Amino acid sequence: MNDKLTNAERAHEIASEVTNKLVANSVRQPLFPERVQSAIETSLTQGTPLRLRMTLCPNWQVDPNGRSVGEIPVESDGRNLIVGDPAMKIVSLLSDEVPGLVGYLNRQSLNIQLLVVVADILSPNWVHDEKTVQERLEQNRRAVNLLLKSTGKGKEVFNDKSKAEARVQSQAQLATNTPRYHKRLEHKQWEALQHGSQMYEWYLDVIQRLQEMGEYEDKRQDLAGMQKIWERARFLAGIYALDGEVIQGDFQTAGFGPDLNHGYIALGTVATSHGDIIAKGWNFDPARPIGVVTPFSNAMEHSWSERKNPAKSY
């Protein structure tokens, strides 16, 4: 790098190089890559950590009775991490690709605050045994935290919190601690039924995309099942539209502190067109655009139990 460059020019050069690498490695079409670059430049010029937010689905599964959540077979005996199925995609994503990416960003002079949100807000009547699902959601959150921080790469990368800090949060808990979150979610679902509204058009876009990709069609072909799919789409349309509105507050609620001219980037974790829906939801409010990239070869398709791919190296 040219030593005569100013700090702003260095920041621009680093941001451009990093953005190009993230975009090139994204398994879905990036959204607003220019916002990815500007977020990196902001953090470099302001001297603030770059804030990365990623949402992880629980380990969805379909059993004979309908939708449920499976365990992620990861635990600790206090000294060692015990991984029951190392070939699962989520194991490679969290123990290899995510800390590898954070380590790469550290090497580019970026300090990182990573917020991993487990999507555990359940739409009404979507699962058949809510008590069991809640227990497994808690197990999923523990497993995610262990995979991220207790593997070799994770221990190394997240050892120094001044350079990289990661926090795993329940989306349901974040929502509980966000003023009027559930009222806002309810209102967006109401708006989705108002002909001609922005939410109405967004809702139709979400259900169309889900139907085109065959999402949720398993065991849901009768009238009651199809109604559940439409209700599920309306719920997701509201959740996804809220995501971009609460990002700064989520970091503060999670304990990272208030916004102090931080840059924000959303990391996608779904490798299908459902991931594109989530990315568009992040940017539902055009006044708050956020760059979205999915730079992981082990992003989920339908379940975290899918077999892993070779990890992207950073």
Tell me, what CATH number does 11's domain have? 3.40.50.620
Number of domain units in the chain: 1
Query: Is 128 domain-assigned?
Result: yes
Query: Is 56 domain-assigned?
Result: yes
Q: How far apart are CA 60 and CA 37, in angstroms?
A: 33
Q: Which domain holds residue 204?
A: 7-293
pTM above 0.85, yes or no: yes
Query: Is 301 domain-assigned?
Result: no
Query: Is 214 domain-assigned?
Result: yes
| C-alpha distance from residue 54 to each of 12, 67, 75, 160, 241 (Å) | 24, 23, 22, 21, 15
Query: Is 182 domain-assigned?
Result: yes
Query: Is 218 domain-assigned?
Result: yes
Mean of pLDDT values over 274-303: 94
Query: Is 247 domain-assigned?
Result: yes
Please check whether residue 98 is in contact with residue 156, taking contact to mean a CB–CB distance below 8 angstroms: no
- Output 156 or 220, whichever has higher pLDDT: 156
Closest CA relative to residue 126, chosen from 239, 213, 280: 239
pLDDT class for 7, splitting at 50, 70, 90? confident
Predicted local confidence at residue 4, as pLDDT: 47
Q: Indicate whether 22 pLDDT > 50.
A: yes
Alpha helices by DSSP H, the chain = 7-25, 33-46, 89-92, 98-107, 130-149, 152-157, 171-176, 181-191, 198-212, 223-253, 273-282
Predicted local confidence at residue 225, as pLDDT: 76
Query: Is 83 domain-assigned?
Result: yes
**pLDDT, tens digit (0-9, with 9 covering 90-100), for 61-81:** 887 777 889 999 999 987 889
Q: Indicate whether 218 pLDDT > 90.
A: no
Q: Indicate whether 314 pLDDT > 80.
A: yes
Q: How far apart are CA 6 and CA 123, in angstroms?
A: 51
pLDDT class for 217, splitting at 50, 70, 90? low
Mean of pLDDT values over 159-174: 96
Predicted local confidence at residue 1, as pLDDT: 43
Predicted local confidence at residue 140, as pLDDT: 96
Predicted local confidence at residue 245, as pLDDT: 93
Q: Indicate whether 107 pLDDT > 90.
A: yes
- Output 299 or 126, whichever has higher pLDDT: 299
**pLDDT, tens digit (0-9, with 9 covering 90-100), for 240-286:** 999 999 999 999 999 999 999 999 999 999 999 999 999 999 999 98
Instruction: Please provide the average confidence, as pLDDT, over all residues in the chain.
Output: 93
